[in-house]
Amino acid sequence: MTAAAKHSQAMHFQARAGEKVRNPVLQRALQKAKPLFVGKRAKGMAALAEDALDVETLRTACEAIRNRTLADLDVWLDIFEERAKATGAEVLWARDGEEVGRLVVEIARRHGVTKATKSKSMLSEEAHLNEALAEAGIRPVETDLGEYIVQLAGEAPSHIIAPAVHKTIEEVEALFAREHGRPIETRTSADIPDMTREAREVLRQHFLTAEMGISGANFLIAETGTAALVTNEGNGRMVTTLPKVHVVVTGIEKIVPTFEDFATLMRMLPRSATGQSISNYVSLLTGTKREGDHDGPEKTVFILVDNGRAGLLGSPYQDMLRCIRCGACMNHCPVYFSLGGHAYGWVYPGPMGSVLTPLYTGIENALDLPHASTGCNQCGSVCPVRIPLPKLMHRLREEQVERGLRPWSERLALKAWAWLAGRPVLYRWMTRRAVRYLNWLADDDGRIRILGMAPGWTAGRDLPMASGRTFNELYKARKRA
Amino acid sequence: MRLALYVTCLVDLMRPSVGFAALRLLEEAGCEVIVPEGQTCCGQPAWSAGERGLAADLAKKAIAELEAFDHVVIPSGSCADQVRNIYPQLFADDPDWGPRARSLAGRTYELTSFLVDVLKISAVPGAFEGSVTYHDSCKGLRGLGIKRQPRDLLSRVPGLALKEMGECEECCGFGGAFSVKFGDVSTRIVDRKCESIAAVAADAVVGGDLGCLMNIEGRLRRRGDETTRVLHIAEVLAGGDA
């Protein structure tokens, strides 16, 4: 079992899904969020026309940039390493999450770090970096508001760009009251700025006292050795410029060749994520503090992480490495918005998670996820880099079959059905009897309310039945008449 | 024009009236329609489950019985998507079945798309007194680009008023085996569809895929809605006595 698999709860998807569907507080939070995400993206994309830009053309351009990068990923990584080193940064490589933890702890020890502020990084979730730091006696402080909330609550993020989307304002209010030591004031959504200010006051102290800042990177720009950070709260700047040490932890696939490529991708990333034409902050971090600079880290370290990524190169799943982590796929996913992210059991939820979790933690450790999709392709049609998510989930289903990972009962049922469907005469004989039987099960109003062979259907729905005759037999009777 | 009507396994079993309605629409438009006797299922359930071998067997069977016709018409976006988009994928590298799959794919149409894009019909036999709202099924909409065709046809039905519901392009939560495997999630998704339907307050909800319609009807009834009719577009276009 890989290190990543140890932390995955993806095998409990089905049970967790049932629990989430029946959680009214969670459902309220999700129901509120979905139209906002969908509406904002739609508006942002529509606004592209004002700049005489076309969504589909841009998607194609972004897809091409990502494909071009992945085709020579090793070369771009070499170039990045060389250029980053030339700016005074250190570049380290990590095979997996555990190695990330070891490296960061080592750096922290070398610089006498007791506290590290963090800007949002999903890769640090993959690496369970906060746990590794805490074990080494170093206090990690999440500074993205959503991340701060889930850290206080002792939870994991449930969305890659809105980590606390599963929480209602009342829950956050109660949490803040408890953690910030204040009486509960039963606030309304109008008081969100007030609660944000409260969090800022707490975080400000951490920004000023942390010796190390840890961030991810939305992109690594090879030609200049630059890390690009796309944020909305400004916390990213504090984390990357105030402490004397800045550690960037990011996946090896985040690289783009040039600034121009970066600019093109930036047309799509904020729009796909939040509908913004550009995020409130875009930080381009190159090297360490130079002479005459007012701020900036004295030490910059890049930790470039594989954790399963290189294994996807040249595989049927390579397209997944194009992902720029915008969250549009989950924002448009009917399954995600019925459950929230925690049901998915690992770092990444929604359609991209249903592909990445099995690939990074082992196909056998996430059997439900590739099936947790209606195949609606709402994800694939909004993906800014045209990742064919349903196709990749489908390929994973095939691989489960090829590796004998599906339940024998399911396989036998499908085999028997396919065998029958290949024999029309027998099929017609059987189906005639089957519909008569179903019709017999139906109540007087023609509906089946309990169906033993498909309880998953009738638990929440009736099964409307027709006449108890197949089209085939009725058609034959009509032709004879 | 000699065409095959592929009624789909779901229509065969659960709602034969959809097959007869499609038949009537095509015949009234002047087509010679054959309903090939050996048809069973296009194989999509096997394909969706990841059973490529079984899916290929059933695809070969369907190709062999349908390829002699000028066109194949299917009253389902989902099954039409299987033939048009998946069959060629299944046999992409097969020197024998590949060309046959691609040829059939190019001549296979979802019903409303065939009526509008190929036959270009201007009148339909049906009439409907009241308002309907149209649910865009995922495979038809995102797989085949079917959006305007059903609306075009509905606008030609005397007495019918189309009232668009909110989020008409949202998935209903059916997803074939998904609806049984993850019944509670599926029910949660279709609940939102039911809310959109309730909000628009139309006399009927209409769609082009029986799977989605069974899901929507099943949930509407369970929620206590006994009045909103749930109809396949073929039934509306062909009229009540199809």
What was the ipTM of the complex prediction? 0.96
Backbone dihedral angles phi then psi of residue A247, each to the nearest 5 degrees: -110, 125
CB contact under 8 A, A399 and B222: no
For residue B241, is pLDDT > 60? Answer: no
- Chain B contact for A19 (CB, 8 A cutoff): no
Three-state helix/strand/coil letters over B170-222: CCCCCCCCHHHHCHHHHHHHHHHHHHHHHHHCCCEEEECCHHHHHHHHHHHHH
Positive/negative CA dihedral, A36, A38, A41, A42: negative
Substitution target in B74, B186, B228 with the highest count of A β-carbons within 10 Å is B186
Q: What angle do CA A242, A243, A249 make, to 5 degrees?
A: 110
Kindly state the percentage of chain B with pLDDT values over 90: 98
What's the CA gap between B221 and A446, in Å, rounded? Answer: 12
Find tokens 């009214």 and name the residue. Answer: A24
CB contact under 8 A, A371 and B178: yes
What residues of chain A lie within 8 A of the CB of B215, using their CB?
A: 461
- What pLDDT, on a 0 to 100 scale, did the predictor assign at position A375? 97
- Tens of pLDDT, residues B12-65: 999 999 999 999 999 999 999 999 999 999 999 999 999 999 999 999 999 999
Q: Which residues of chain A have pLDDT under 70?
A: 1-2, 189-190
- What pLDDT, on a 0 to 100 scale, did the predictor assign at position A189? 67
- What pLDDT, on a 0 to 100 scale, did the predictor assign at position A69? 98
- Chain B contact for A158 (CB, 8 A cutoff): no
Min CA distance, A406 vs chain B (Å)?
Answer: 9
Q: Which residues of B24-55 are buried (b: 16+ CB within 10 A; e: fewer)?
A: bbbeebebebebbeebbbbbbbbbbbbbbebb
CB contact under 8 A, B187 and A469: no
- What pLDDT, on a 0 to 100 scale, did the predictor assign at position A4? 75
- Closest by CA to B31, choosing from B18, B22, B43, is B22
Distance between first and last Cα of chain A: 66
Positive/negative CA dihedral, A470, A474, A476, B1: negative
- What pLDDT, on a 0 to 100 scale, did the predictor assign at position A192? 87
- What pLDDT, on a 0 to 100 scale, did the predictor assign at position A466? 76
Find tokens 């979730």 and name the residue. Answer: A125
3-state secondary structure of B125: coil
**Chain A residue nearest residue B17, CA to CA:** A471
Which pTM was predicted? 0.96
Once rounded to an integer, what is the mean pLDDT over residues B119-131? 96
Per DSSP, B108 falls in state E
Task: Identify which of A415, A421, A462 has the shortest CB distance to residue B218.
Answer: A462
**Do A328 and A383 form a contact (C-beta atoms < 8 A)?**
yes
Task: Identify which of A371, A415, A427 has the shortest CB distance to residue B54.
Answer: A415
Please state, in angstroms and as integers, the Cα–Cα distance from residue A317 to each residue in A33, A306, A322, A358, A390, following that order. Answer: 30, 15, 10, 11, 12
Please state, in angstroms and as integers, the Cα–Cα distance from residue A221 to each residue in A8, A115, A253, A386, A470, following that order. Answer: 31, 29, 11, 21, 62
- What pLDDT, on a 0 to 100 scale, did the predictor assign at position A247? 98
**Do A173 and A195 form a contact (C-beta atoms < 8 A)?**
yes
Q: Report chain B's mean pLDDT, rounded to a whole number.
A: 97
**Do A372 and A13 form a contact (C-beta atoms < 8 A)?**
yes
**Do B162 and B135 form a contact (C-beta atoms < 8 A)?**
no
What residues of chain B lie within 8 A of the CB of A424, using their CB?
A: 37-40
- What pLDDT, on a 0 to 100 scale, did the predictor assign at position A421? 97
Task: Identify which of B16, B46, B221 has the shortest CB distance to residue A418.
Answer: B46
What residues of chain A lie within 8 A of the CB of B207, using their CB?
A: none
Positive/negative CA dihedral, B132, B137, B142, B146: negative
- What pLDDT, on a 0 to 100 scale, did the predictor assign at position A1? 60
Once rounded to an integer, what is the mean pLDDT over residues B215-237? 97
3-state secondary structure of B39: coil
- What pLDDT, on a 0 to 100 scale, did the predictor assign at position B242? 44
- What pLDDT, on a 0 to 100 scale, did the predictor assign at position A51? 86
For residue B117, is pLDDT > 50? Answer: yes
